[in-house]
Structure 1
Amino acid sequence: MNAESLFQPETWHRPGQGPRYLQLSRHIGRAITEGTLQEGQQLPAERDLAELANVSRVTVRKAVAELVEAGLIEQRRGAGSFVMGSAPKTEQSLSTLVSFTENMQARGRVSTSRVLDRGLFPPSPDEIMALGLSPSVSVARIERLRSADDTPMAIERSSLPSDILPDPEAVETSLYAVLRRRGQAPSRAIQRVTAVNVKGADAQLLCLPENTAILQIDRTAYLDNGRPVEFTRGFYRSDIYDFVSELRPDGG
């Protein structure tokens, strides 16, 4: 696909689907992740791209800024904007119960958490099933955007019985650090990994084009006595995150 057809408005603009700069940014990001735009390839100059896409140069500038923030485009002074190569992926074992914060610290990376929502709520049917709760008790929820070195990597939505986490406001960065201080950290977990396409607000939070493939991981964690104390549904960027597991013979 040549530049003229790739950036034409009819290929990326949809009325009512958000600001033009975001739609253009997601379109270019999708072209990069799908390989239509290759590593090292130069984008058209700002003026040329604005003309091809039939938008203002300000719109182009904002779209490219989104791609730079997502690590998909590199701007070289005096040379232009170029497609970046894939960053080295971050590995996390599926066989070890470790928090996002601890995993990043072990790799020498600076982890941050942005709390999107938290509080005590009536439990949903899924939470009642996963945590073995009575419908009459409350559940603690905390939703966080997890980043490493300022790069958004995951959205995690965690639910816990309110007697395990009576004050969701106590969680700033690491949920497991709070649970350890209370003597109620889980000792094992069951995880289910699914491939999904990111949409809407989640795509914006992760700086990804809409419908990009990501990993959904549902984790139910248990205390030593078998009580389920955490249900987390996480959405992880598959372009920079790898989950690995070690398999051994069962001896049978």
Structure 2
Amino acid sequence: MLAAARPLAYLDLRETLQRQIENGALPPGRPLPGERELAERHGVSRVTVRKAIAGLVADGLLVQRRGSGTFVGARIERAFSHLTSFSDELRARGIEPGSRTLSGESGAATPDEAMALGLAPGARVIRLRRLRLGGEQPLALERSTLPAFALASAAGVRDSLYAALDRRGLRPCRALQRLRAVAFDAEAARLLGVKTGSPGLLIERRGFLADGRVVEFTRSHYRGDAYDFVAELRSD
């Protein structure tokens, strides 16, 4: 008579799910099956499932979004040494990029915008605020300001801002970036599906054309649990 299979313990289930995430069986942004389904599939209690999921959330491999469920995390390694768009960066890692426009408008440049873009005070600019997604997972909040010559309107941007600029022959060829750590306020935390006060990364980017004109000023808030920024350093 065959012995009954030993039920998976908490660590066994955690390791099983981690392997499925690492080998791509559970791809980034994919919603995790419900507790009942996982419990039945692996022959464990729902308490064991909850404990295993909590451990993977703590490791950043899973992300829980209030009212939506649990999703496979999409931790991205992004290089500071290359000028690429958010969409290009994700596609290079096999993750489908997405975007949800929160607001788009044109108006007179504020003093800070005019200084960042090298414009006269009050010059017309295009403003675009978007939630950037990897699969179904919110990864970043972007607020972009562009001089009026760069875009006819904010509606001209579908998924990728750089693709829209490229269509007009105005994709930046170099950029200056600044990074600093921040804590998300209540609104940003709600949109990104994290707790208020969670750590994040703020990157300010000014993109330049070959003739030296500034074509974009973007402030991006990235989830601290989803991004690693790397830079190659060389000695002189």
**Matching residue within 221, 234, 245 for 2:220:** 234
Hey, what does 2:85 align to over in structure 1?
Answer: 99
Q: Is the 8 A contact 1:92 1:243 kept in 2?
A: yes
Equivalences for residues 206-221 of structure 1 within 5 A: 206-221=192-207
Note the residue ranges of structure 1 that are not aligned, 5 or more in a row: 1-38, 41-69
* Kept after mapping to 2: 8 A contact 1:144/1:157: yes
Unmatched 5+ stretches in structure 2? 1-9, 12-28, 40-44, 62-73
Over the matched positions of the two proteins, sequence identity in percent amounts to 41
Alpha-carbon contact 1:89-1:240 (below 8 Å) kept: yes
What's the offset of the Cα at 1:110?
0.9
Counterpart of 2:140?
154
**Structure 2 counterpart of 1:191:** 177
CA drift of 1:172 comes to 0.9
Q: Which residue of 2 aligns with 1:36?
A: none
**What RMSD over aligned residues (CA atoms) do the two structures have, in Å?**
2.1
Give the TM-score normalised by the residue count of structure 2.
0.73
Cα 1:94–1:246, aligned 2, differ >3 Å: closer, same or farther? Answer: same
Does the aligned pair in 1 maintain the 2:175–2:206 contact within 8 Å?
yes
The corresponding residue for 1:204 is: 190
- Whole-Å Cα distance in 2 between the matches of residues 248 and 139 of structure 1? 38
Distance 1:74 1:240, change over 3 A: farther
Aligned partner of residue 115 in structure 1, secondary structure: strand
Letter in 1 for 2:157: V
Matches of 1:90 and 1:74 in 2, distance apart?
23
- Residues 237, 190 of structure 1: alpha-carbon distance in 2 compared, 3 angstrom cutoff: same
Partner residue of 2:158? 172
The structural deviation recorded for 1:244 is 0.8
Alignment correspondent of 1:76: 35
Match of 2:108 among 122, 130, 134: 122
Query: Does structure 1 conserve the Cα–Cα contact (< 8 Å) formed by 2:114 and 2:123?
Result: no
CA distance in 2, matches of 1:227, 1:171: 20
Aligned AA (1:128): A
Change (3 A) 1:74 1:126: farther
Deviation at 1:84, TM superposition (A): 4.1
Q: Contact 1:143–1:156 at 8 Å: present in 2 too?
A: yes
The alpha-carbon deviation at position 124 of structure 1 amounts to 1.4
Deviation at 1:222, TM superposition (A): 0.5
Partner AA of 1:198 in structure 2: F
The aligned residue for residue 95 of structure 2 is 109
Distance 2:92 2:188 in 1: 27
SS for the counterpart of 2:113 is helix
The number of residues matched between the two structures is: 183
